[in-house]
Amino acid sequence: MPDAKPTLDHEQIPAKLGTEFITQFYRLLKGATLYDRKSVVIDRLTQECLQVVNGIIQWEGKILLRIVRDHFFFNDTPILASADKYPIFKAFWQEMRKRRIGRMEFSEGASGEHLKDLAYLLSGLEENHENNYLAIKKQLEQRNIRSVDVGKLEVSRNEEIEIDSEDRKKYSREVYFRSIGLAKEVVESIHQQKPLPIRKAKRLMQKAANAVMQDDSTLLGLANIKNYDESTFNHSVNVAIYAMALGQRIGIPKKHLSHLGMAGLFHDIGKTKIPEEILNKTEGLSPEERSIMRSHPVIGAELIMRMKEWGELSARMTEGAFEHHLRYDLTGYPRPAQKKKMTLFGRIVSIGNFYDALARPRVSPRFPYVSEKILEIMLERSGKDFDSGILKVFINMIGAFPLGTLALLNTHELGIVTRIQEDTELLDRPKVCLIYYSDGEYRKGKVVDLGEMDEVSGDFKKSIVKTLDPNEYNINVAEYFI
């Protein structure tokens, strides 16, 4: 809030104010796409936004937000999103880019009605029209609004503006299934003592990093839905995806995201040297067997170090393999010789590994842990087993109801979670695809936003009552999700 400003470090002020503005304005813009202008929800969102806008104008004299490539500049200072606001920044950036608006300006005199006008004008724009900004300027002029202005998004020639969301989904699906194929190929290569397909893996993880940067919801959804393949192969791919999606949210640059993907993909490579009969035993390992099993991180690190083809990746790969069962307080295994902090890659991969290992279906019981339970276990171990800062980002990323969750709504409808909200305040209110039973089978219905409110009462229209096991209902979640 603006009154907290004087206590801030001078350099943090633009970032904090910019974040407040983007968050509130994004909520209003999203509201404008969902609700009628006269609804109580819009009134509330407008008031909240106006409060922030007025506070900033009082303090700074103006608000000038610009988008330059993938960065925001707030009153001429580049600002970065904090991890919890990252999804909102990204969603807002996407919304503005597809409308080709690259600049917004507010000065003294901006009223709630002006903000509302702008939000509805923006929400009504057609996508990818270069002259959208002119249309808005004209409208603002006609309404005699002088305290609000917008400008064109400047795009350099080789910049891609917007990929169709269906194409993006398709691309992500392809990357996911090709990665599973690759994980299989890696294991077979080791067993047959053939060279590893490292270049192929690097290219694929670069593609995966691209997909994550564009929109990670399809990949995260696929990782959450475990029932695709034999567990070892999709486990490596899932860990790679969790690691990259997490890395993106904590600000790891794109080039290093693909490295993180590689570290995730190969983290369990040491398991290829563990005898099958130990590997496949689900319970009752003898102490000797357990110690053999627990040697896989060391074996993996050695395997990686022996190969020359990694190049600059070598150290990063070793971190993923060696540290993925290590805990943040350096318990876990293998015990490191020196008391050295876990590496960033190790901390990220270990979180993805732990979550995915617990989330996958075993033979019996088929549905061992629901996500909520796993996240609860992880939260209990925050700061001990896991880096608390990174864990917090991970929990927000997975959400209260992860992608692919089958849920019962208070309206007695069934739905499958297809999108987590960008706004962390709405983490328990994802978008769900309704499914209904007719003619002897389940069918896909419309997608509803559980963040949507009733326009008169201001209460949420639909809520999740509880989650259900899709196996019990014979529902193949994947069919509805992708």
Binding site for Fe ion (CB under 5 A): 268
Which residue is listed with tokens 């001429």?
Answer: 76
| CB of 461 vs Fe ion, minimal distance in Å | 43
The answer to whether the beta carbons of residues 394 and 246 sit under 8 Å apart is yes
- Cβ of residue 325: shortest distance to Fe ion, in angstroms? 6
Q: Indicate the residue among 356 and 387 with the shorter CB distance to Fe ion.
A: 356
Task: Give me the least distance between CB of 352 and Fe ion, in Å please.
Answer: 11
Residues constituting the chain: 482
Q: Is residue 361 within 8 Å of 367, Cβ to Cβ?
A: yes
d(CA 83, CA 422) in angstroms, rounded, equals 11
Cβ-closest position to Fe ion: 268
Three-state secondary-structure class, residue 103: strand
Rounded least distance, CB 44 to Fe ion, Å: 48
2 closest CA partner among 43, 44, 46, 63: 63
Judged by beta carbon, residue 51 or residue 232, the one nearer Fe ion is 232
Nearest-approach distance from CB 402 to Fe ion, in angstroms: 22
Among residues 215 and 268, whose Cβ is nearest to Fe ion?
Answer: 268
98 or 294, CB closer to Fe ion? 294
| Minimum distance from residue 364 beta carbon to Fe ion (Å) | 22
CA distance 436 to 247: 37
**Closer residue to Fe ion, CB minimum distance, 268 or 422:** 268
Q: Are 265 and 205 in contact (CB under 8 A)?
A: yes
Structure token digits, residue 119: 């939000």
Is 132 or 350 the residue whose CB approaches Fe ion more closely? 350
CB-based contact 297:260 (threshold 8 Å): no
Q: How far is the CB of 246 from Fe ion (least distance, A)?
A: 17
The strand pairing partners of 436, in sequence order, are 443
Residue with tokens 């970032």: 15
Do the Cβ atoms of 392 and 379 come closer than 8 Å? no
- CB closer to Fe ion out of 310 and 322: 322
